Amino acid sequence: MKKTVTVLRGDGIGPEVMEQALNVLNAIAPKHGLELTYHEGLIGAVAIDQTGTALPDETIEKCLASDAILLGAVGHPKFDNDPNAKVRPEQGLLKIRKSLGLFANIRPIATYELLYNTSPLKEKLLKGVDFIVYRELTGGIYFGDKGRGDDGNSAYDHCNYSRMEIKRIAHLAFQAALQRRKKVTLVDKANVLETSRLWRDTVKTVSAEYPDVELDFMFVDNAAMKVIQNPAFFDVVLTENMFGDIITDEASVITGSIGMLPSASVGEKSALFEPIHGSYPEGAGKDIANPFGTILSVAMLLDHFTLHEAAEQIRNAVDNALKEGVVTVDINQDKHVSTTEAGAYIVSQVS
C-alpha cells in the first residue's frame, strides 16, 4: 500500500512532537506493507513569518494531493497579545478545514488509570469513560456572516446550517456507534435555537436508517454538566460546531492530561490528524512536551488507511508506557522522561 502524507509541523512544540510521531510511523509502516511519501507544508505563525499568510496556497495544494495530513500545533502569543493583528495563526486552521472540506472533527475521550490522580474528577467518575465526539466543523456560527453595526456599538454572528451538512456528519456518528456501544447522543439547544431544531429533525430522519442504534437528545448546558457528573454515560456524541468546540475542550480536561488526546478531521476526500493540545510556546525547544497525543493521532491515521492492527499496536504501546511510568513531566513531575525518550520507547514497542 502506497500513501502520501503532508506533514505540517506548525508552531511551538509542534515540530518536536511531530518528529516523535513520524519516528513511530516510520517504524511501524514497513511491518504492515505501508510505503509512505512525505510532503512538508507551512501553517500558522511560522507560515505568517515566512509568507505573510497563515495558510499558503502551496500548502493547500500539497494537502489536496495527499492521502492524509499530519498537523503538529498552531499558535503563538505574539499574535494572541496583539488585538490589532490582521493575520492570525488560527486563521490557518479555519481555512484548511474549509479548503479541504473537513466537515467532521472526531475526538475520542478515554481515561487511563495512571492519570486518575491528575484528573480534577474523583476516581469513581473516571472508570469506564470511553466516548467519542463527532463535531461538525465547517458550518455554524464560526463560518456565518459576521460584522459590526455602522456605529460600532453592535455586532452580529450568524449561525447557518443545511440538512446536507447535518446528514453527512450524522451518518458518520451512527456508523461509529455501530462499532461501539450503539448509542448516539445529539447535543443541541433545540428549546431556543432554530438551527438546533433543524438538527433534531434531520438526525431523527438519519437515525431511522440505523435501527440498532439508540438515539437520545441532550441540551448543551445539561451535556456540559453530564460530562463532569457522569462522563461514562456517553458513547458517541454528535453536535454542531461551537457546542462541539466547548464540549470537547471540557472533556479533554477530565482525562488528566490534554497531551494524551488525538483527533481527526475528515471530509469526503481529505483527512487531517492532530493532537488537541495547543502549541505551548513556553515549552518549545525544551524536550519536555508530551508526544503521545500526536502519536495516537498517527494511530487514527492508520485506522483511516484501514490498518487497524497497526493502529492498535500503537495504542497498546502507549498503554504500556503509562503502566511502566515512561511519561513526560505533564503526567509525573517527580519521575519523567523527555519528549525524545517517550517517543523512542514507543518506537521500541512497535518495531
Q: Which sequence positions are flagged as catalytic?
A: 142, 189, 221, 245, 249
- What spatial distance separates the first Cα and last Cα of the chain, rounded to whole Å? 19
Per DSSP, 305 falls in state: T
Q: How far apart are CA 61 and CA 70, in angstroms?
A: 15
Per DSSP, 291 falls in state: -
Q: Give SS3 for 130.
A: strand
Are 140 and 161 a contacting pair, CB within 8 Å? Answer: yes
- Which residues, at least 6 apart from 32, have a Cβ–Cβ distance to it below 8 Å? 302, 307, 309, 310
Q: How far apart are CA 266 and CA 204, in angstroms?
A: 23
Q: How far apart are CA 172 and CA 183, in angstroms?
A: 13
Q: How far apart are CA 77 and CA 149, in angstroms?
A: 29
